[in-house]
């Protein structure tokens, strides 16, 4: 298996599939939590030191036309490295989720509606996500939201970047190179012109 395939499998390690055909008309609520193995795999994919906890609270509601709305929140505590001090730090993630899923055959039509809204300067809805093989994976959805919430440049609250102090070299100024050229250009044994 290729490394890319291995990383994709690790990103999918938190899997909680919901079969759309089995959704009750009133919808359902799911509280899910990633286990240690899933958190380790996700941390590796995201380039994190660790994911200490990851959970989601989601409401899954069927809508007209076979569409499904998923709303809720993903919360996690992650271990990162401060970009200033290189000290280990922990950060909290709290990301909202509000997505519509639709059968794959509806996606082009719904994407056209999004394009039309963009052209008319109306509020642009997010395009729907496809329902794949009649299933919505809540774990994968929560993983994606968690990854979006990661601060790419984490720092301790008290960390202050101070650039290194460099003592100015008197020979290091904009015209130093010209001065060196001028010294090289002077003849050392210039001959005086002869008088006739």
For 26-89, the three-class secondary structure string (H helix, E strand, C coil) is CCEEEEEECCHHHHHHHHHHHCCCEEEEEEEEEEEEECHHHCEEEEEEEEEEEEEECCCCCCEE
The pLDDT tens digits along the chain (196 residues) read 334 444 445 657 899 999 999 999 999 999 999 999 999 999 999 999 999 999 999 999 999 989 999 999 999 999 999 888 888 999 999 999 999 999 988 877 665 655 555 565 655 567 789 999 999 999 999 999 999 999 999 988 876 766 666 666 666 666 666 666 666 666 555 555 555 5
The pLDDT score that the predictor gives to residue 105 is 86
Task: Name the residue among 63, 68, 57, 61 with its Cα closest to residue 16.
Answer: 57
Element (DSSP H or E) covering residue 179: helix 176-185
Q: Are 126 and 100 in contact (CB under 8 A)?
A: yes
The pLDDT score that the predictor gives to residue 3 is 41
The pLDDT score that the predictor gives to residue 5 is 44
Which runs of consecutive H residues, i.e. helices, occur in 84-175?
107-119, 138-148
The pLDDT score that the predictor gives to residue 167 is 61
**Residue 65 DSSP class:** G
Q: Are 115 and 163 in contact (CB under 8 A)?
A: no
- Strand 68-81 and strand 88-102: the pairing is antiparallel
Which residues are paired to 83 by β-bridges?
none
Q: Are 56 and 31 in contact (CB under 8 A)?
A: yes
Which residues are paired to 58 by β-bridges?
30, 72
Rounded to 5 degrees, φ, ψ at 99 are -130, 150
Neighbouring C-beta atoms of residue 187, cutoff 10 Å: 6
The pLDDT score that the predictor gives to residue 80 is 95
Element (DSSP H or E) covering residue 129: strand 129-130
Q: Are 66 and 23 in contact (CB under 8 A)?
A: no
Distance (Å, rounded) from C-alpha 120 to C-alpha 134?
A: 33
């Amino acid at each position: 298996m290729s490394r890319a395939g291995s990383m994709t499998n690790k990103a999918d390690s938190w899997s909680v599939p919901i079969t759309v055909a089995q959704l009750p008309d009133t919808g359902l609520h799911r509280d899910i939590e990633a286990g240690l193995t899933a958190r380790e795999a996700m941390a590796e994919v995201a380039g994190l030191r660790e994911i200490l906890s990851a959970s989601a609270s989601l409401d899954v509601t069927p809508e007209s036309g076979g569409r499904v709305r998923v709303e809720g929140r993903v919360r996690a505590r992650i271990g990162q490295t401060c970009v200033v001090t290189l000290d280990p730090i922990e950060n909290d993630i709290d990301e909202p989720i509000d997505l519509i899923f639709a059968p794959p055959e509806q996606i082009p039509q719904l994407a056209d509606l999004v394009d039309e809204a963009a052209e008319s300067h109306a509020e642009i809805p997010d395009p729907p996500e496809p329902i794949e093989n009649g299933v919505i994976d809540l774990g994968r959805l929560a993983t994606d939201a968690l990854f979006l919430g990661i601060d790419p440049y984490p720092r301790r609250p008290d960390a202050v970047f101070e650039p290194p102090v460099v003592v100015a070299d008197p020979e290091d100024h904009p015209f130093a190179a010209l001065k060196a050229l001028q010294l090289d250009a002077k003849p050392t044994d210039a001959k005086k012109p002869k008088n006739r």
